[in-house]
Structure 1
Amino acid sequence: MEKALIIGASGGIGTALSAALAARGVAVTGLSRSGDGLDVTDEDSVAAALGALEGPYDLVLVTTGALEIDGATPEKTIKSLDPKAFMDQVALNAMGPALVLKHVLPLLPRDRPAVFAALSARVGSIGDNRIGGWYSYRTAKAALNQLVHTAAIELARTHKQLACVALHPGTVATPFTEKYLGRHSSVPPSEAARNLLGVIDGLTPKDTGRFYDWAGKEVVW
């Protein structure tokens, strides 16, 4: 792996992944909203940012996302569902990575192995949902999973050595999750980065279109 592109590089996991890859000698390009003005929910912003880059990239990681947007917290009941909060979640957590994938295609190699990975979440699994709640966030992540799976089918025709996957990083101790850790064990971003890169290192084209957790175990859709 020689070149990597991290979208959301200023976040806790994005920063840790960038550092871990750089320590391996990988040339890392990082883009973020705070550092570069990249808004993954705005196609013009995505197109301009990615159009200015020179590939190919052996690894593209999308680490953007949020549990809360504009103060809207995850719903405990359907009675709390708010249309704007719902659409905000879909825009950031599903459409955003999809727009990145749309515009990063020219930067992905066709003649050698490569990985496109978007950070999803186990709560986006329909089959694993046993406690309910978190309607907007769950739905957005489920949509992201479908987008990744669908794109993997298409890209297997044009980028035959690409692994296009969704990854669940586990519960990571970042500002993203600090209000929701509760009884859940968490790991620091540096450990999450090591775990994720361990999974990425083992990916092959046969894994494309799948959803894996931080330990490399496949998550049910």
Structure 2
Amino acid sequence: MMQALVIGASGGIGAALCDALAARGAQVTRLSRRADGLDITSEASVAEHLGALTGPFDMVLVATGALEIGANGPEKSLRQLSAEALSAQFALNAIGPALVLKHALPLLARDRRAVFCALSARVGSIGDNRAGGWYSYRTAKAALNQLIHSGAIELARSHKDAICVALHPGTVATPFTEKYLGRHPAVPPPEAADRILGVLDGLTPADTGGFYDWAGKVVPW
């Protein structure tokens, strides 16, 4: 039976991923701040919660993140930029998933295919940035992409069948995106979850370290 670990399991996409994996017959371990007190911005919390697990896991999915943290939303101009907002975004959207990767490393299966996937965002792409703005969120996601890429290189040395990737899930209809949808079409979380798992199904160890979108296309760094 496939063993899966979902970090951020109480969120819209995280919960949908848990349901989709369970429907496939996987045994799903769910961790979240809301239900379990996991704070991915605290290494002590990450170490405690992941250290209590035994594994091995065939899949670890990090479905955490936020566009708004406290009173700070995405910036429209440099005038709105603040050290506080930058620090908060990096803590949640870059440092947190990196800490999960660090402490999930011993839990990943070594003798078979294993997947580590952190949900990123297309706006974290430097090459695809034509609109500017959203400084804190964009740069935190760009940092996450680099952390995943570097982590994949190290992971391949000890887990030859591992796949470690960043994935843009598309625009998903959740409270996370509700205020920023505008005219952009959004898909419900169950559909997004199926798309994400479909992309991961199609990846091989040769694809590790990549940045992909919900359709399986490579997103430029």
Distance (whole Å) between structure 1 residues aligned to residue 38 and residue 154 of structure 2:
26
Distance (whole Å) between structure 2 residues aligned to residue 220 and residue 128 of structure 1:
7
Which residue of the partner structure matches residue 147 of structure 2? 147
State the shift of 1:217 in Å: 0.4
- Number of residue pairs aligned between Structure 1 and Structure 2: 221
Structure 2 counterparts to residues 108-127 of structure 1, below 5 A: 108-127=108-127
Distance (whole Å) between structure 2 residues aligned to residue 109 and residue 73 of structure 1:
38
State the shift of 1:79 in Å: 0.9
* Letter matched to residue 195 of structure 1: R
Task: Please say if 1:182 is aligned against 2:182.
Answer: yes
Structure 2 counterparts to residues 193-212 of structure 1, below 5 A: 193-212=193-212
State the shift of 1:105 in Å: 0.8
State the shift of 1:109 in Å: 1.2
Distance (whole Å) between structure 2 residues aligned to residue 104 and residue 131 of structure 1:
35
Q: Deviations over 1:55-112 (max 9, x none)?
A: 0000000000000000201000011101111100000000000000000111001111
State the shift of 1:123 in Å: 0.1
* Letter matched to residue 124 of structure 1: G
Distance (whole Å) between structure 2 residues aligned to residue 148 and residue 111 of structure 1:
21
Q: How large is the RMSD of aligned CA atoms in angstroms?
A: 0.6
State the shift of 1:209 in Å: 0.2
The range that moved more, 34-43 or 150-159, is 150-159
- Residue ranges of structure 2 left out of the alignment (5+ in a row): none
Distance (whole Å) between structure 1 residues aligned to residue 195 and residue 82 of structure 2:
35
Q: Residue 21 of structure 2 aligns to a residue in which SS?
A: helix
Structure 2 counterparts to residues 26-175 of structure 1, below 5 A: 26-175=26-175
Query: Normalized against structure 2, the TM-score is what?
Result: 0.99
Q: Where has structure 1 moved over 2 Å in runs of 4 or more? A: none
Q: Deviations over 1:148-196 (max 9, x none)?
A: 0001111111111000000000000000000000011100000000100
Which residue of the partner structure matches residue 214 of structure 1? 214
Distance (whole Å) between structure 1 residues aligned to residue 52 and residue 91 of structure 2:
23
Distance (whole Å) between structure 1 residues aligned to residue 60 and residue 40 of structure 2:
14
Query: Normalized against structure 1, the TM-score is what?
Result: 0.99
Identity of aligned residues (%): 73
Q: Residue 149 of structure 1 aligns to a residue in which SS?
A: helix
- Residue ranges of structure 1 left out of the alignment (5+ in a row): none
Q: Residue 90 of structure 1 aligns to a residue in which SS?
A: helix
Task: Please say if 1:15 is aligned against 2:15.
Answer: yes
Which residue of the partner structure matches residue 25 of structure 2? 25
